[in-house]
Structures are given as C-alpha cells and as structure tokens.
C-alpha cells in the first residue's frame, strides 16, 4: 500500500533524468529542482482531472485516463460512490415507504424540532389540526394552533404527555393529542379524533343516570314495605327470615343505585381552581374516627393515626370524607381481627399525602390494575357479605381526579396493602400560612 500517496515511477523517472543531465552538465541541483517542478506540475494536472471527474458524479464511463497510481484512486472512489448511491437509493426508498405509510395513518402525525417548529406532517394533520406539510413547515405549532391546553402539553416536556382538546377546525370534534420527545429535542406529535368515544361516554353516563333515577323511586317504595313487614310480629318465623333477606338485598340495590348516581356525577368532571372550601383535614379525620370507634367499628383492630396538625385543604368536604371513610372501612372489612391499620396524613414538597396502611393478607398482583374499576371484586362473595357495592374505590378514584389528585395502591401478599391519595399543593396549606 502506498502510505505517502507518491507516484514512485514518475518520481524515479524525473529524478533519474535530472541526475544524468546534471552529472553531464555539472549543474546537478538546477536540474534536480527542474525535475521536482515537473513532477509537481504533472501531478497537479492529474489531480485536477481527478477532481473534475469526482465533481461530475464519478461515473465509470467518464473516468480520466490516468497513470496506474491514479487509476487505483479512481477505482476506490468509484467503489465508494457506487456504495453511497446504493445506500442513498435504499434510504430514499425507505423514506418514500414511510411517507406513503404515514399518509394512510388514521391519526394526524407531526414532527417538530426543538423550537416546536413544524418539520413534517402527514395528510391527516391538515384535516384535524389545520397543519399542512410544506405550507406550514418552519412555523411554530403554538402559533398555528393557539390553545392553553396545547401550550401546557409542551411545557417541560420530558416524557410522553397527552391532552384532550377541541379541534381548531370543528367545535364538535374532540382530539387526543400526544407529544413524545425524541432525538435531539425533536417532538413526535399525534392527534386522534376521539369524538365518538366522548359521545359514547356521555351517552353511557346519561343512560346510567336516567336508569338510576328511575330505579331509585320503586326501590325506595319496595324497601319501605319490606321494612314494615320486617317489623310485623305476626309473621311466621320462616317468612320473617325471607322478608329480612329480601330487605337486605333491596337495601343493597338502593346503595348500588345511589353509588351509580354519585359516580355519574363525578365522572369526567373537574373542580374549578377556587371551588370547594378550606377545611382542617386532620380534625375531620379525627372526628370521624372517634365517632366510628364509639359504635365499635374498630373493636377488633388497632387503629393508629399519624396526622400532620393544622393541615388545611381546599376540597368538597363530603367528597373527600367519602374517600378516607371508604379506605378505612375497607381496611377493617378485608383484614382479620387483630390487624393494625395506620392512617397517615402529611405534607410533601408539592402535594398532600393521605395513606391508609394495613398489615393484612395483601392483594394478589393480578388484581391491582383492576381494583378501581367499577364492580370489580377480588372476592365477590366476601364483598357482598360485607355490604359493598363494588363502586367504592371507583368513586374514590374519581373524587381524587376531580380534585386534581391521584389514588394509587400497592400490596404484597402476606405483607399488607397501602392505599395512597394525594392532593396537589395548590389545594393544600397550613393554618399558619392561611393566616399570613
């Protein structure tokens, strides 16, 4: 391999000729310099021919007729260019395939750079987002589509975020827009028309609401008559037992209807920023626990309260009460006698945390993702015996979401269960802060 890129044949010929002429004329250094100059000029001409060939595409049929040394270079350049052309064709074919595939994608797809400027968009983007590929390239998406929810979506974007907003073109169309950061700050955005799903949810809630209202009145009447029969001392013993069972089942249906109405009211709603009242949450929990203890509810369990004092929360008091009462009652109902239940309320950096912890048998992992679904029961027989409707945790979850918070569960078999409800910092303060 010629490591120094020197044409040794030409160099040998010119220096040899210079040596012979120089020895015969007695002026060796002059002729040596002339030989070097000739070598450089000839090589420069060859390099110029090579550069011209490269600039015109390096096609084999137009390759210059150069000495063997440059012939090797021409051959290598041609092979490299041929490989590049093949790679370019493959890349171009893949890009064309991607563009065709993206054009048929049912979702609007937009790629943004780190400045949230449009780089590329598929055809569906024009229909749903009024963003056209080519026409809107280089424009910031927030200038094309002005919406506070969309602005919030891209603010501090580090992981995939999603938001539901109205279409900029049709007021009756709801879009689910998802943004995912990738590469060097670029953002992959998709938008899907979820109007049908929203309408189905609205229709379902309306049906549940109407059905619950229609059922509540006859159930109340039936339950009233059964209560009268249950109090009638003239009934024979076996009839009394049947009436008692009917009354219990009737009351269970009344409870289910009431919970369905409550869930229908909560689902899909969110409180306004200042909606609710400031309550001393620790005092509310203590008051309810004291009243429940007087009825003997905790006689077979140990209940420990660890509550930050003077915590105030901006909430709908009756709704938040349904959360902690449901969680504590569940802990009592689904743990054996002698179990310990801890209720902790404390303020973290940016949220308020309410945790109900038990050391009961725990919940199998396969059930955890479904616990807060309506009518889901880990042990259906035991749940019905305890009087549960199967809607309690679903109600709790929607109450917390309505307040801008969360409800989560962790459990390990044989180790117990932890339910954690959180409220955002904007709904939490202390009595000292509220006075200042």
pLDDT over 70 percentage in the chain: 85
With beta carbons less than 8 A apart as the criterion, state whether 339 and 422 touch.
Answer: no
Q: What confidence score (pLDDT) does residue 2 get?
A: 45
Q: What confidence score (pLDDT) does residue 3 get?
A: 40
Q: Going by DSSP bridges, is the β-strand pair 302-307/340-347 parallel, antiparallel, or unpaired?
A: parallel
Closest CA to 169 of 142, 210, 215, 129: 129
Residue 9 has pLDDT above 70, yes or no: no
- Cα(46)–Cα(63) distance, integer angstroms: 12
Q: What confidence score (pLDDT) does residue 344 get?
A: 94
Q: What confidence score (pLDDT) does residue 63 get?
A: 65
Classify burial at 292, counting beta carbons within 10 Å of its beta carbon; exposed 0-12, middle 13-18, buried 19 or more. Answer: middle
Report which of residues 94 and 428 the model is more confident about.
428
Q: What confidence score (pLDDT) does residue 218 get?
A: 85
Write the pLDDT tens digit of every residue in 262-292. 877 887 777 887 889 999 999 999 999 999 9
Residue 386 has pLDDT above 60, yes or no: no
Residue 66 has pLDDT above 90, yes or no: no
Mean pLDDT taken over the chain: 81
H helix runs in 104-185, sequence order: 123-128, 141-144, 148-154
Ramachandran sector of residue 156 (left: φ over 0; alpha: ψ -120 to 50; beta: rest) = left
pLDDT over 90 percentage in the chain: 20
Q: What confidence score (pLDDT) does residue 184 get?
A: 80
DSSP 8-state class, residue 316:
-
Lowest mean pLDDT among 95-99, 301-305, 362-366: 95-99
With beta carbons less than 8 A apart as the criterion, state whether 418 and 411 touch.
Answer: yes
Contacts of 258 (CB under 8 A, 6+ apart): 212, 216
Rg (CA), the chain: 40
Domain ranges of the chain: 8-99, 105-193, 197-266, 277-435
Closest CA to 115 of 190, 184, 191, 177: 184
Q: Which CATH number fits domain 277-435: 3.40.50.970, 3.40.50.300, 3.30.565.10, 3.20.10.10?
A: 3.30.565.10
Report which of residues 244 and 188 the model is more confident about.
188
Q: What confidence score (pLDDT) does residue 117 get?
A: 92
E-strand spans in 194-330? 277-280, 302-307, 311-315
Residue 225 has pLDDT above 60, yes or no: yes
Lowest mean pLDDT among 10-14, 172-176, 324-328: 10-14
- Cα(195)–Cα(19) distance, integer angstroms: 92
Q: What confidence score (pLDDT) does residue 226 get?
A: 82
Domain 105-193: CATH architecture, name and number where available: 2-Layer Sandwich (3.30)
Contacts of 37 (CB under 8 A, 6+ apart): none
- Torsion angle, CA of 396/402/405/408, rounded to 10 degrees? 30
With beta carbons less than 8 A apart as the criterion, state whether 171 and 165 touch.
Answer: no
- Cα(177)–Cα(193) distance, integer angstroms: 9
């Amino acid at each position: 391999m010629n490591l120094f890129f020197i044409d040794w044949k030409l160099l040998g010929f010119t220096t040899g000729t210079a040596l012979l002429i120089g020895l015969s004329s007695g002026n060796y250094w002059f002729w040596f310099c002339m030989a070097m100059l000739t070598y450089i000029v000839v090589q420069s001409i060859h390099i110029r021919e090579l550069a011209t060939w490269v600039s015109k595409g390096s096609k084999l049929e137009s390759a210059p007729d150069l000495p063997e040394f440059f012939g090797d270079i021409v051959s290598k350049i041609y092979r490299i260019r041929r490989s590049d052309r093949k790679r370019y064709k493959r890349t171009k074919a893949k890009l064309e395939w991607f563009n065709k595939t993206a054009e048929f994608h049912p979702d609007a797809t937009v790629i943004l750079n780190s400045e949230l400027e449009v780089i590329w968009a598929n055809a569906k983007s024009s229909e749903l987002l009024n963003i056209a590929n080519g026409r809107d390239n280089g424009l910031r998406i927030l200038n094309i589509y002005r919406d506070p929810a969309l602005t919030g979506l891209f603010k501090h974007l580090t992981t995939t975020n999603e938001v539901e907003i109205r279409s900029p073109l049709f007021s009756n169309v709801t879009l689910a827009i998802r943004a995912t950061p990738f590469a060097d700050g670029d953002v992959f955005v998709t938008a899907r028309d979820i109007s049908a799903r929203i309408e189905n949810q609205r229709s379902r809630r309306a049906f549940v609401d109407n059905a619950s209202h229609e059922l509540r009145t006859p159930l109340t009447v039936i339950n009233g008559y059964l209560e009268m029969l249950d109090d009638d001392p003239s009934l024979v013993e076996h009839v009394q037992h049947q009436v008692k069972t009917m009354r219990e089942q009737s009351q269970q249906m009344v409870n289910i209807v009431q919970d369905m109405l409550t869930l229908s009211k909560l689902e899909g709603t969110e409180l306004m920023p200042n909606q609710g009242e400031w309550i001393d949450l620790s005092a509310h929990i203590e008051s309810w626990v004291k009243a429940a203890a007087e009825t003997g509810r905790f006689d077979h369990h140990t209940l420990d309260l660890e509550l930050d004092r003077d915590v105030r929360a901006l909430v709908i008091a009756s709704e938040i009460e349904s959360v902690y009462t449901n969680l504590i009652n569940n802990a009592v109902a689904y743990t054996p006698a002698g179990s310990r239940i801890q209720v902790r309320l404390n303020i973290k950096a940016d949220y308020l945390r309410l945790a109900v912890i038990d050391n009961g048998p725990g919940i199998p992992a396969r059930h955890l993702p479904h616990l807060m679904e309506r009518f889901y029961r880990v042990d259906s027989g035991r749940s019905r015996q305890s009087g549960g409707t199967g809607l309690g945790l679903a109600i709790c979850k929607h109450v917390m979401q309505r307040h801008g918070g969360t409800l989560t569960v962790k459990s390990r078999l044989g180790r117990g269960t932890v339910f954690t409800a959180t409220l955002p910092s904007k709904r939490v303060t202390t009595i000292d802060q509220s006075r200042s």
